[in-house]
Amino acid sequence: MPTGYWETEHLLRPADITVVGAGIVGMSTALHVKRARPDDRVRLLERSPLSSGGTTRNAGFACFGSAGEWLDDLDTVGPHALQELIGMRANGLAELIGLLGAEALGLRWTGGWELLSSSEADTRLMDRIHADWKTLQDLAGDPLHAALGDLHPAAKAGPALQWDRDRAEALGAAHAIHLPWEGMIHTGKMVAAFHRALDQAGVQRLHGVDVKGVSPSPNGWALDTNVGRLDSHRIGLCTNGLAAKLVSGLEVRPVPNRVMVLRVAPGTLPEGTYHIDRGYLYMRTLDHQHVLFGGGRHWGVELPLPPARDEAAEAQWDDRLLAASGHWVPSEEVTHRWTGWLGVGPDRRPLIGESQPGLHHAVRMGGMGVAIGARVGRDLASTLLEA
């Protein structure tokens, strides 16, 4: 493959632009490119039936970080880059809403909360948050207002962070910080909306195509795949954590994250999104009887890359998640468990560039791809169109 006349002459003839990886970034890139140049042949290749990274497996937070996460970033990248990062997330969400529409995303501006316990680590974190409160408010407030001021009902509420004693009391937390700009999407609806938009725009979306390597060819690039060689003038690589397998030297690696859905007594958790342990743990309401609880990558449990599995390690991770969730929401049953994969690197900034002429990449979304993915896709599309 492709060997038949209809395949080589038409269906799989060389593309103008091939995007590899149908996650949020790849789908946004392909959509932007095709909408800008309807006559170009734009192909989107994905190795799995839906997607196998984070895009169909995330928690659906439409979020920009929390005080605890921002302090980590402040220490690693400094105030300027942190503000840029918050701006990218806020702009990314605005971009996603513009691409697909708030209703199609199942977007709800519920607000989020950062919960702090009375543990030693959280008490230390609390002291730091107090000390840097104004800095954080200033750094986050401006980009949130600038990007979402016209879209968000919280725009009038003003600050990025607010103490919330009632929520702390309701959940037995030592402190709760309200994040009024935060919201949640329905991840399944977002992916379905992307698929509709891509099909409508005329992007050729091929699932089940695993790209094993890319190499320069006289007319651009050749992609070596499980279904044979495919040609393209340019390539946009959006394979996130796995990108270094195709372009060596990219500073990104795949990291697993575990998630579970808990059935709880009705109304156990007030509607919203919640950050715990500087965002390494998180929970959100799905409906009044189901809570999604996940995270724990800071525990360092290792899992093999799919399709391999280590069920003992998964069970160990799940036991820890269940114990952690029990602190906040007593559950009656675990109804779903799964692993998703993140692309991470030395800091939380995405990696966008061109490693060789015509071979572009946009990877390393960290745990924030829902927020920044569409914006990163737009940036990659612009460079692909300029090339």
Binding site for ligand FAD (CB under 6 A): 20-26, 45-48, 51-55, 57-61, 63, 210-211, 238-240, 242, 257, 259, 294, 340-342, 365, 367-371, 373
225 contacts 45 by C-beta, under 8 angstroms: yes
Q: Which amino acid is residue 24, in one-letter code?
A: I
200 contacts 182 by C-beta, under 8 angstroms: no
In this structure, the strands spanning 15-20 and 228-237 are parallel
The closest alpha carbon to 203, from 380, 51, 42, belongs to 42
CA distance 340 to 327: 24
In whole angstroms, the minimum distance from the beta carbon of 71 to ligand FAD comes to 19
In whole angstroms, the minimum distance from the beta carbon of 307 to ligand FAD comes to 12
C-beta closer to ligand FAD: residue 109 or 133: 109
The closest alpha carbon to 48, from 19, 18, 11, 21, belongs to 21
In whole angstroms, the minimum distance from the beta carbon of 312 to ligand FAD comes to 20
In whole angstroms, the minimum distance from the beta carbon of 38 to ligand FAD comes to 23
CA distance 381 to 364: 16
C-beta closer to ligand FAD: residue 45 or 197: 45
355 contacts 361 by C-beta, under 8 angstroms: yes
In whole angstroms, the minimum distance from the beta carbon of 163 to ligand FAD comes to 23
In whole angstroms, the minimum distance from the beta carbon of 44 to ligand FAD comes to 9
C-beta closer to ligand FAD: residue 132 or 354: 354
C-beta closer to ligand FAD: residue 30 or 126: 30
Backbone angles phi, psi at 313, to 5 degrees: -65, -40
- Specify the residue for token string 């990449």: 361
Max CA distance (Å), the chain: 69
Q: Which amino acid is residue 282, in one-letter code?
A: Y
C-beta closer to ligand FAD: residue 126 or 252: 252
C-beta closer to ligand FAD: residue 50 or 174: 50
258 contacts 283 by C-beta, under 8 angstroms: no
In whole angstroms, the minimum distance from the beta carbon of 5 to ligand FAD comes to 26
C-beta closer to ligand FAD: residue 22 or 126: 22
Q: Which residue is nearest to ligand FAD (CB)?
A: 53
